[in-house]
Amino acid sequence: MLRQTDQVPPPTTTPVDAALVACADGDPTTFGPVYDALAPVAFGTSLGVLRDPDHAAEVTQEVMVEVWQTAARFDPARASARTWVATLARRRAVDRVRAEQSRRDRDQRDLDASVAGAPRDVVVEDVERRLEGAAVRRCLESLTPTQREAVVEAYYGGRTYREVAERLGAALPTVKSRIRDGLGRLRDCLGVARG
């Protein structure tokens, strides 16, 4: 147990801690070894939060610039250089995640507002729907009776080819041909371009 008169030993400093303290004077030659030692710490911490190597590399660069610019704030009595850089990197990475989520939320709100606020002309939509329906009915009338019956049973009746064949008492290949040919004639009648 320490008594108040006992001295607490100073924390041990590593060569990286000493090099970071030396960077506080702004000597660029002292920063090279600091960068080499601490950039992997910043990258690993950033990658752990972001899960994206490209974003982690960007954050690492931002952190290392901050380390260079604020080296005078580093206090080896409070934490090691590795811990200090890891803390800076984690904060920057979390800020990046929050900013990205805010951007996504904002984009979604903008999209929702533009879709919800888009003016809709209900009368025009209703008229278009009726005209399209009339065109389809007119084109259905242009089909042969067997084609029309097969197409109507399949598409308006919601039946499978096999169910249509059973209902019409025709062979399955025959029904498939009637439907295929009928749809082709409908496509031509409605002016739908072939894809």
Residue 179 placed within a domain? yes
- Residue-wise pLDDT for 27-36, tens only, equals 888 899 999 9
Question: Last residue of a domain, which of 115, 142, 176?
Answer: 115
Please state the domain count of the chain: 2
pLDDT: which is higher, 128 or 173: 173
What is the value of pTM for the model shown? 0.53
Which tokens hold the place of 188?
């031509």
pLDDT at res. 145: 92
pLDDT at res. 3: 52
Q: Are residues 66 and 100 in the same domain?
A: yes
Q: Are residues 81 and 171 in the same domain?
A: no
Residue 10 placed within a domain? no
3-state secondary structure the chain: CCCCCCCCCCCCCCHHHHHHHHHCCCCHHHHHHHHHHHHHHHHHHHHHHHCCHHHHHHHHHHHHHHHHHCHHHCCCCCCCHHHHHHHHHHHHHHHHHHHHHHHHHHHHHHHHHHHHHCCCCHHHHHHHHHHHHHHHHHHHHCCCHHHHHHHHHHHHCCCCHHHHHHHHCCCHHHHHHHHHHHHHHHHHHHCCCCC
- Residue-wise pLDDT for 56-102, tens only, equals 999 999 999 999 999 999 999 999 999 999 999 999 999 999 999 99
**Residue 35 CA neighbour count, 13 Å, CB half:** 13
Q: Are residues 58 and 81 in the same domain?
A: yes
**CATH number of the CATH domain containing 50:** 1.10.1740.10
Domain span at residue 159? Answer: 122-190
Residue 159 placed within a domain? yes
Q: Are residues 102 and 138 in the same domain?
A: no
Per-residue pLDDT for 139 more than 70?
A: yes
Q: Are residues 24 and 103 in the same domain?
A: yes
Q: Are residues 182 and 128 in the same domain?
A: yes
Q: pLDDT band at 118, cuts 50/70/90?
A: low
Question: Last residue of a domain, which of 115, 144, 179?
Answer: 115
Residue 8 placed within a domain? no
Question: Last residue of a domain, which of 115, 138, 163?
Answer: 115
